[in-house]
Amino acid sequence: MRTHRRLTKAALAGTLVAVAGLALAGCRTDPAVAAYVGDTVFTEQRVSDLVAAGGQGVSREIVVETLVLGQTCRNFAAEKNFQPNTQAGQQGVAQERIDPDTAFGQERAAMWGCIYATPQSTEKASDEDLRYVYDRLEAAGALKEGATFDLVKPQLAGDEQVSGSLAFRRLWLDAAAGQDISVNPRYRALSYPILSNSGTVLIELTLGQPANTAVKDAPAPAPTTTAAAS
């Protein structure tokens, strides 16, 4: 079984934000707040300012993604005692053609610098994880007749891309756990593929709660004068 990872920079960031969303906590639902990561609050006004300063093509969604993931990763770095890779962060924004001198560009570079410095997970895939992949393959009709889980499991466990993708997922589930992360419904209900096979998504992470249309359609605050002039 040949598989391929769909872990481009954009997919990677989305995936990690989705993981963070799985740690969604409680009822912190202030409509003026875009997201919380522990005690850190990212307001909708902050998002508006970064969008205005970021230039054409910078959406509210990518700003929230950047803020939440960046803070989640910084907290993880403090816990695991690793330092960001500044050069990798600069390369990340350069490849995305984001102006590194803007406030948004600086946030984005910091996010990438932290992501690419994270230690690799060596955790082996559990039977539950492998069963998840098997069920995806079976549902897609990608297995030969009579290919039971017990027959396919050794192949899945021995596939470096499958095991690596599952380890990646587990790493960030653990990173987000206990961080008390909550995201405004207008930015939720997105799924991100990590690993696919012949067009079938085998491993993905979904921001579990459905979007709230009323919140999503609510007007966003205008940028401050300083941000709009940037």
Contact predicate 43/34, CB 8 Å: yes
Q: Is the pLDDT of residue 114 over 80?
A: yes
List, for residues 23-56, the tens digit of each pLDDT value.
444 446 688 999 888 899 999 999 999 999 888 8
- Nearest to 119, CA basis, from 80, 158, 156, 89: 80
Task: Cite the DSSP H helix spans in 83-177.
Answer: 86-95, 103-115, 127-139, 149-158, 160-176
**pLDDT of the residue at 189:** 47
List, for residues 66-97, the tens digit of each pLDDT value.
898 899 889 999 999 999 999 999 999 999 99
Q: Is the pLDDT of residue 11 over 70?
A: no
Contact predicate 53/64, CB 8 Å: no
On whether the pTM is more than 0.85, the answer is no
Q: How confident is the model at residue 196 (pLDDT cuts 50, 70, 90)?
A: confident
Percent of the chain at pLDDT above 90? 40
Q: Is the pLDDT of residue 7 over 60?
A: no
Q: Is the pLDDT of residue 59 over 60?
A: yes
- Nearest to 112, CA basis, from 134, 96, 128, 133: 96
